[in-house]
Amino acid sequence: MVQLNDTLLEVLDQRATETGRSRSDLIREAIEQYYKEDIEAAIDRAMVEGYTRVPDDDEFDALYEEVARRSIAEEPW
């Protein structure tokens, strides 16, 4: 059960009539779009954090060690 004010109900009914869809279908689509935008915003925030975060020395040391191990392992000695 969703309560809507008269204006929202009028807009919803107009859209339903124009598109030949039900109120439920339009409400479901709006919620799915809202959810999708929320997920995309979370991904964007994570990407920005990943590009702006400065790793500490321990993270760099571990990365350098892993790169060195892989390089040595790939050498044809």
First to last CA, the chain: 72
Cα–Cα distance for residue pair 50/53, rounded to 1 Å: 6
pLDDT for 44: 95
pLDDT for 8: 96
How confident is residue 34, by pLDDT bands cut at 50, 70 and 90?
Answer: very high
Cα–Cα distance for residue pair 48/42, rounded to 1 Å: 10
pTM of the model: 0.57
How confident is residue 20, by pLDDT bands cut at 50, 70 and 90?
Answer: very high
pLDDT for 33: 97
Q: Which is higher by pLDDT, 60 or 40?
A: 40
